[in-house]
Amino acid sequence: MIYYKASTKHLLGVWLTILCVSIAPFMANAQSWKWSIGSAITQYQFQNSKGHQIDWMKPSSGSHIELAQDHVLLDTVRLISKFSKSSIYFSNRPKLAKSLSYLNYAIGLNYHQLNAIGDVQQIAFSYQTDFVGFSLALGPKYTFYKGWNISLAGVLMGQQLIAGNQLLANRYYPLTEDPQFNSFKIFAGYQMELSKAISPTVRAFAQVRRTASLFSPQSTTGKLDLLPMTISMGISLTR
């Protein structure tokens, strides 16, 4: 039996994810909880050590699950009810207060399967991965019709591989020992969400999110970037 030594980068990602999971129950002041489930369709972009793009990788789908808390950046109703320096500041700047009241931010925990398939010289291969991590989103939300909202937000994600294998011909290779996969990954991108009120406290929504990995490590064989697009549906419960 072979034993592998865990890398510091791998453990850092696990520690950050555990920290997010640990503090989530104490963040009870959220204005709404959001649950979503859907599919992640991931494009692998590989650049070899000579700087050439390799195009024999094809997108594949996997699962996407997320639990998030959604907040209004500036709740003007709650602000008016308080007598404080901030309430006085924004009461003297109504245009600024109104602009900030359109902005929402969300903090979430998620699970992704970022997969790919392909073939080279008639040899088929596939990548099957499981990532866990967190997401941060910030952007405006508008009501454009009765009970309908639309929002566009910038997204930042941190993801850590917890399991993964590469199938090459008839053999499996663990990706947890591959530096292109096992390091803690940062993603950035944007998302669009359309939601509809079902009741005063419940909304249904559909969301599309596109992100790309940043600061991908350079290995002896090249550099790999992951570009997932997630399509999901869910419900939002307002407190």
DSSP notation for 105-119? EEEEEEEE---EEEE
Three-state DSSP at 193 gives: strand
Tokens of 111: 């699970």
Give the pLDDT confidence score for residue 76 in this predicted structure: 58
- Cβ atoms of 49 and 221 within 8 Å: the answer is yes
Give the pLDDT confidence score for residue 223 in this predicted structure: 87
The C-alpha atoms of residue 212 and residue 113 are separated, in whole angstroms, by 14
Give the pLDDT confidence score for residue 62 in this predicted structure: 95
Of 206, 210, 104, residue with least CA distance to 157: 210
Give the pLDDT confidence score for residue 187 in this predicted structure: 97
Which segments in the chain show pLDDT lower than 70?
Answer: 1-30, 75-94, 96-99
The C-alpha atoms of residue 34 and residue 68 are separated, in whole angstroms, by 5
Residues 187-206: pLDDT tens digits?
A: 999 999 999 999 989 999 99
* pTM (2 d.p.): 0.80
Domains delineated in the chain: 8-73+104-238 (2.40.160.20)
Give the pLDDT confidence score for residue 33 in this predicted structure: 94
The C-alpha atoms of residue 94 and residue 124 are separated, in whole angstroms, by 61
Measure CA 173 to chain center.
Answer: 26
